[in-house]
Every structure is written in structure tokens, then in C-alpha cells.
Amino acid sequence: MQHKIDPASHGPLGLPMSKAVDACVHCGFCLAACPTYDRLGQEMDSPRGRIVLMKQVLEGDLPWVAAQTHVDRCLGCLACEPACPSGVVYRDLISPFRAEAEKYFTRTPGEKLRRFLAKHTIPFPGRFRAALAVSRIGRRLGPLVPTALRPMLELAPPVLPPAESWPVVTPAQGERRARVALLTGCAQQVLAPDINTATIAVLARQGVEVVVPPAQGCCGGLAWHTGDLAAARSFARRNLDAFPADVDAVLTNAAGCGSAMHEYHLVLAGTPDEARAEAFRHRVQDVSSFLAELGWREPPGLPAKKLRIAYHDACHLANAQGVRAEPRALLQAIPGVELVDVADAHLCCGSAGTYNLDQPDLAAALGELKARAVIATGADVVASGNIGCLTQLQAHLVRLGSPIRVRHTFQILRDAFR
């Protein structure tokens, strides 16, 4: 499909958007992979349909708001990318388009307030913890709470785990095999801080020295995927400055964070930091991929009762980073483990950053669908590598009355050594 888009007219993100549009040949292979097309059955809620809409908007043939509903409904799960035979880099289109479109999209006062609250709380662990504490009061108010804010209250967990902190440097146990820096995340620090504790424990046991840079911040993914380019750039620059160069890798244990950091070159395109971001993103690696490459120095060897684990592919781990086999191989190294896949693994669970807040009905439908697929495996535990997926699965499994436990891959590995 030849386009008429003038990349120069859309700033530094114009060329990536133009190339992504030009690569699409309208074959339709992406339709079967798209969760929103699967649920809604509308062409404009498929990657192909959205590409047509965005192309027409970028060419000036449609007003920006004509694409808003369908672009807002996109999960950004990138299931369309591995399904595409033409190699359309959809990520180079959807987030840059949102960054430019946010100036033109219209929002209700309630939506603006919800986005403002999310922007100023979730990326900051202290504020986020305080906001979740206040949400308990909001739940008591019930119908008095504005409709636009109710999804935030419904998603707030009734009880938070105790706060945890981690040393700036955790030494390797025994001979040091590697030295890494770990992103501890923002929401994860509040909702499930034990994931970081487990990650550090497993790495140290395998001879890896772990550095937790104290000046690090949010990866910027929430801002980037909702079109807030200024905030995304601020978070990206902060992390470029915070993470040391003298490490073997910059590790993430949340798929969404890793995916966002791999896109820093887009976030900072056209700025003096673009080259630095390009070099940085090649050092970022998911923790399961890093450990699988490093290999076990000491595999999990403690006797374990037979355990059936369902593995859920987080979209931004499988689709955005291509990490599928590695976490499975790590889990299968545990004695007594039977690993099973979840049906329709390509369909997103509906978490997708703030998607639960912005599209609560679609997110809930996808979450219930995924939870039922997990239950059908007959597993004792469901494992994944992303805090958003884990939170979504936990909420919907509880609603369905399922006793299946929800754990991060590295929590299961840590517990196996115990």
C-alpha cells in the first residue's frame, strides 16, 4: 500500500509511522490475532482497520477524532506483529500516533480527571500506595463516586502487602558470574514487592551481583502508551541517567516495563538523547531471558510435590520481546513440575497498562475469558512475567471462585529453592 503521508509534517515520529503504514498489504492475517476484533467483530477494531484510519488521519483525509474510539480501544498487545507476514512494526505506529493525537482527541471532564489521577499516582510508588489507601474510603461512598472514577476503585486491592526495599547492591553468592542492574518498577513495588525480592534472591543464588540504582524511576510505559510524550521522555531520561554502564545487562521482571524501555529510541526520537536511548535499549533484557542464557549454576533441586503450572504469556514479553521459551524452560527445571499452556494464549488478558481504567468493560470481558481458560487447564498455579497480567488474573480468578494461585515466574523459582 503506497501512502501519501509526509513524514516531515509529523515530526521525528513521522518516519516510523509512515514506514509502518506503508508495510501493511491488507492481507488480514492480523484479524484472528487481535483481541478487540475477536470480541467486537468490527474491521475498525482490528489492526488492519486501525492502520487505515490512522493513515487517513495522517494524510489529512479524516479529522483526528474520527479515529479516537478505535485507537483508544487498541490494547497495544502487539499480537498482530508476530501474525503479520509483511513485518508491519505496529508498535512504531500506535504509540507515536497516540502521542501526536492526544493534542486533538477530546476527553470528557471525568476522563481527564481519571487520566490526571493515574498519571500523578501510579508511576510514583509512595503516591500510589497512599492513593490505594484512600480508595478504601471511596468504595464506601459507592454511587456518590463519579462514574469515570469507579473503575479505579473496583481495581484497587482491599489489602496491600507490606512495603519492601532492596539494597543498592546484592552480592553474588559464591563466584560472581555476572553483574546486572534491576528495574524495580512502580506499580509492582506497591502491588507485589515480593517479585523483586524473589528475583534478586534467585539471581544472587546463581552467582549474579544485582544493582538496584536508587535514582531510577518509572519506565515511562504508562505515559508512552497513553500518548503523554512529555512524561514518557522525562521518565526515559531519568533512567538513562540512573542505570550504570558497567553492568552486563539492565534487567526487567515486568514485561510492560521491558517493552517500554526497548522503545526509548522512539520516545526520545529527534532529541539529543536519541543515540543514547538507542544504545541503552540493546542492553535491556527480561530476567527470564537473561537467566536462561546464563544457565543454571545450581538448578532447583529440592524435592517438590507434583505441581501443575499453567504458563500465561504476557503480551509484552511474548509479542514485544519475543520471550516465550525461556520462562517455560526455567519452570520445567523444577522437579515435579508439569507445565501446561493456556488455550488461546495469543489473546490478551485485558490488563494492558491503564486499559482497565479507560476501557473497563472490554478489559473485564477479556480478563474473565483468560481466567476461564486458566481454570480449564486444571492447574494448581498460574505463572506469568508481568505485574499487570498477574493482577488481572488474580482479580478474575477470585471472582470466579477459583483456588488457583497466581505467581510470578521468579517467585516460583525462589520457592523451589526453599
Find the CATH number of the domain harbouring 328. Answer: 3.40.50.10700
CATH number at residue 65: 1.10.1060.10
CB 55, CB 4: distance < 8 Å: no
At residue 55, does pLDDT exceed 90? yes
Model confidence pLDDT, tens digit, residues 216-248: 999 999 999 999 999 999 999 999 999 999 999
Per-residue pLDDT at 1 exceeds 60? no
Confidence of residue 372 (pLDDT cuts 50, 70, 90): very high
Do 184 and 283 share a domain, yes or no?
Answer: yes
Same domain, 287 and 316: no
Statement: residue 268 has pLDDT above 50: yes
Residues 266 and 325 in one domain: no
Residues 183 and 264 occupy one common structural domain:
yes
Q: Which domain holds residue 218?
A: 169-292
Domain boundary among 292, 326, 344: 292
pLDDT of residue 145: 72
The pLDDT of residue 144: 67
For residues 255 and 369, membership in a common domain is answered with no
User: 82 or 136: which carries more pLDDT confidence?
Assistant: 82
**Is 310 in the same domain as 386?**
yes
Among residues 214, 205, 137, 213, the alpha carbon closest in space to that of 177 is found at 205
Q: What pLDDT score was predicted for residue 14?
A: 85
Which of 105-114, 145-154, 381-390 has the highest average model confidence (pLDDT)? 381-390
Does residue 173 sit in the same domain as residue 288?
A: yes
Angstrom distance (rounded) from CA 228 to CA 115 = 10
Residue 162 lies in a domain: no
In this structure, which amino acid lies at residue 18?
S
Same domain, yes or no: 76 and 179: no
Is pLDDT above 90 for 377? yes
Domain presence at residue 412: yes
Q: Is the pLDDT of residue 106 over 90?
A: yes
Least confident interval from 161-170, 318-327, 352-361: 352-361
pLDDT value at 113 more than 80? yes
Q: Mean pLDDT over residues 388-414, rounded?
A: 96
pLDDT at 304: 62
- Picking from 258, 292, 326, the residue at the C-terminal end of a domain is 292
Q: What's the pLDDT at 303? A: 57
Report percent pLDDT > 70 for the chain: 98
Report the distance separating Cα 271 and Cα 263, nearest Å. Answer: 14
* Least confident window among 81-95, 138-152, 279-293: 138-152
Same domain, 146 and 224: no
- Please give the radius of gyration of the chain, using alpha carbons only, rounded to the nearest integer: 21
- Check whether residue 247 and residue 338 sit in a common domain: no
Which has the closest alpha carbon to 183: 137, 128, 250, 138? 250
Supply the pLDDT for residue 3: 53
Q: Is a pLDDT exceeding 60 seen at residue 313?
A: yes
Of the residues 292, 321, 341, the one at which a domain ends: 292
Query: Based on the structure, what is the number of domains in the chain?
Result: 4
Q: Per the domain annotation, does 1 fall within a domain?
A: no
Residue 307 has pLDDT above 50, yes or no: yes
My answer on whether 115 and 176 are in the same domain is no
Cα 86 to Cα 21: distance, rounded to the nearest angstrom = 11
Q: Give the count of beta carbons closer than 10 Å to the beta carbon of residue 260.
A: 32
Whether residue 164 is contained in a domain is answered as: no
Q: Are residues 306 and 413 in the same domain?
A: yes
| Domain assignment present for 2 | no
Residue 302: which pLDDT band, with cuts at 50, 70 and 90? low
Q: Confidence class of residue 8 from pLDDT cuts 50, 70 and 90?
A: low
Percent of the chain exceeding pLDDT 90 equals: 83
What span, in angstroms and rounded, lies between the C-alpha atoms of 160 and 69? 34
* 94 inside domain: yes
Residue 379 belongs to a domain: yes
Confidence band of 306 (pLDDT split at 50, 70, 90): confident
